[in-house]
Amino acid sequence: MSCTLTAPIRREMAMDRIISIIRENSQLYALKVRQTGDFAIPVIVEDSEKAPSLPEYYIVKTPLEEIPESLLPHKKRLLASWAELSHYQASDSEALRHLLTVLLETRASFSEGGMPLPDLVPTAQEQTFRATAAHPRAYKGTKTRPPKLRQPEPVDLRPYMDTAHNQNRLIGDSSTHLQKVLELLCQEGYDRERLNFILSAPVRVEPYLAYHHGITDGAAPEMPALFSSHLLPLLKALSIEVVKTYLSLFHGLALHEMPDVLPVFLALVSLEPGKFISGWAKLIAAQTMERQAELACYLIESGITEHSPEIFTASDLARFNSMTSEDVYSHRLYYLFSALLEGSSKEYLFSGFHLANSFNPHFRFSDIGDCRDFPLEQVEELALYLDSDNPDIICPGRYYSMSIWESCGRLKGLQMMRVKILQTKLDLLEHIARKNLAAGISVDSLAPDLEHALQMINTSNDNRRAFRRFLKALLEGNDKYILTHPLTLRWISKHPALNIELWSNGICISERLEDMGSVTLSVERDPLEALKLGTHVGSCLGLGGGLTYSALAVVLDFNKQVIYARDDRGRMLARQLVAISEDDRLVCFEVYPLSAYRRLKQLFREYDRRFAEALGIPLYIDSIEDEYSIVRILSERWWDDRPWQDEWDESAEKARNEAQ
């Protein structure tokens, strides 16, 4: 899979989609978001002034009369109700129907409004007349016409209906007609259940909030005018909790102060407001302020918001920001979104950015594939080697690193080649091991631990012969080879006070650590597992490191032991090398990996103390004047990494200070 992009791949948005209908200056207007300029895929340019500009999004206000009915099917009905409110005469059912129609479909711009509502004539009642001297029958049965009732002067309600107080008063004056009007609105297509929210408390609720968000108890949050008129209409039928979340985001992004961000933000929300808030909106909030509009634009143009926000989280954005310079930022961000949309692995993409930063900062990521197992460390080592081993060629690693990265994404077979190469090396290693050990070990019976041991022998510069002898004895069933070796016995004889059995088996302690669960520390009794003390943590004592000979020495020499920390599933968390000095002290070395949790390192120090106490020997405290000696027994060479300077051991700190 490869995504070579020459044009935007974004989902097409409905052009001029209406985001809100507002009441302003006795007029109804439709608000729409428009885009000016065509989107161009960002390219890498050294001169920032020559970089292509992003399309601009802006809000346009159009009189409702000019909006085509295809965008607003109920336009005529809404305009008719709006016109009727311009000559309001009495609070009857027709007037209430027009009032609710407008209130349910529009929002106030708050450029005007808030004026006190004038005294209005209530609903016309049936006129009754009393008998008088001139008309003793009160006009009944006579041909004389009674006097007409005084008709109220028409009032233009539109400037007065923008406050909740005035709305409640108008609805309250017509409350006797409310049930009938709600039935009429149902016939026009409004939802009966939502209309009942208005009926529940007609003089205490705002009809818009009651119908669209179920707010009937007067607990509506305070909303800025811009939020109420521009963003709230996009949230119809969503709960008050979602509205509050958007309100919090509105304040957090300071959208009332960000005219470049607000339009593109509204465009994004208009796509799928219910899903957008779940992560994509928060991603914009996590972006630096000066890049929020750009990020929102790329979210639209790439179409990535159709996917779950887990595809690219705020932590991913922070990682991207930390490793991307200004001159390549836009280019990489767009292609990152485009590749993720095509299903590329995030780690593969970040590996590409990492390599580009080291070897080719202006590399163009226009042809991106996918690789789920990209060997970043190996490719980086190869590129560094090529740069250092070829002085006559200027930076060959610049070419090869990115060429390999691209090829791994485009050619699935390249991964199989890498596996086959490793398999070929293993086959050769097995052949050498079989010849040197003079043992008939078939490929089928070669266990993983033995594979690792044979590779360690093959890559080590020292201790190879001694370790081959030990390994051959182990394969023949002699698991006491080291303990019974004459050189080991000679060393033991020089340390008569040492508890040999306890030193061989160690102690075991367990503790439950926060975020890690149950952790157990013990001496590793399997020599081939102990041999992995560097491989497990990726140190120089591991396979491929420069000090593999020292790992062989740890297994060969009886005066050295490996302590592993494992979780309740048996997974290795950290390790430590300990040794017995010639003056019978327990010397403890650094805990690896160095990034291990502080509490886990403290648990290792607790193990060291208990182990020394069980053995009846002192724990060596690192000091400038107090040296120690750890001899080689079967090994020819080993690397002394110097004792662990325990930052939590107060006695050790005191001893070091006194020595200085």
pLDDT digits (tens, 9 = 90+) for 335-352: 899 899 888 999 999 999
Check whether the bond before 496 is cis (ω within 30° of 0).
no
Tokens of 75: 């336009």
What distance lies between CA 345 and its chain's CA centroid? 14
Instruction: Measure the CA–CA gap between 3 and 336, rounded to whole angstroms.
Output: 11
**pLDDT confidence of residue 645:** 76
Q: Which residues pair with 60 in a beta bridge?
A: 32
Is the pLDDT at 118 greater than 80? The verdict is: no
Tell me which amino acid residue 620 is.
Answer: Y
pLDDT confidence bin for 52, thresholds 50/70/90:
low
pLDDT tens for each residue of 623-647: 767 888 999 999 999 988 888 876 5
**377 vs 435, higher pLDDT:** 377
**105 vs 394, higher pLDDT:** 105
Radius of gyration of the chain (CA): 40
Pairing of strands 508-513, 517-523: antiparallel
pLDDT tens for each residue of 137-187: 666 666 666 666 556 678 888 888 887 778 878 887 777 888 898 899 999
Q: What are the E-state strand segments in 507-618? A: 508-513, 517-523, 560-567, 572-580, 586-592
SS3 string, 547-577, reads: CHHHHHHHHHCCCEEEEEEEECCCCEEEEEE
For the segment(s) 494-659, the CATH number from 1.10.8, 2.60.120, 1.10.533, 3.40.630 is: 3.40.630
Helix (H) or strand (E) holding 312: none
Do 593 and 537 meet the contact criterion of CB atoms below 8 Å apart? yes
**pLDDT confidence of residue 444:** 44
Q: Where are the domains of the chain?
A: 307-410, 417-487, 494-659
Is the pLDDT at 116 greater than 80? The verdict is: no
Average pLDDT of the residues in 449-469: 85
What distance lies between CA 453 and its chain's CA centroid? 40
Pairing of strands 27-36, 107-108: unpaired
Average pLDDT of the residues in 515-540: 90
Pairing of strands 56-63, 27-36: antiparallel
Average pLDDT of the residues in 459-474: 88
Expressed in angstroms, the distance from the first to the final Cα of the chain is 63
Do 589 and 641 meet the contact criterion of CB atoms below 8 Å apart? yes
Do 545 and 508 meet the contact criterion of CB atoms below 8 Å apart? no
**498 vs 130, higher pLDDT:** 498
Do 162 and 110 meet the contact criterion of CB atoms below 8 Å apart? yes
pLDDT confidence bin for 443, thresholds 50/70/90:
very low
Residue 369 CB-density burial (10 A; 0-12 exposed, 13-18 middle, 19+ buried): buried
pLDDT tens for each residue of 382-408: 777 666 544 554 556 667 788 888 888
- How far CA 559 is from CA of 97, 474, 500, 644, in Å, comes to 94, 19, 10, 17
Angle between helices 548-556 and 464-475 (to 10 degrees): 50
**pLDDT confidence of residue 167:** 80
pLDDT confidence bin for 107, thresholds 50/70/90:
very high
Q: How many CB atoms lie within 10 A of CB 109?
A: 22
Instruction: Measure the CA–CA gap between 588 and 618, rounded to whole angstroms.
Output: 11
Instruction: Measure the CA–CA gap between 590 and 593, rounded to whole angstroms.
Output: 9
**Of the listed ranges 11-15, 140-144, 156-160, 652-656, the one predicted with least confidence:** 11-15
Is the pLDDT at 429 greater than 60? The verdict is: no
**pLDDT confidence of residue 633:** 93
pLDDT tens for each residue of 528-567: 999 999 888 888 888 878 899 999 999 999 999 999 999 9
Mean pLDDT, the chain, rounded, equals: 80
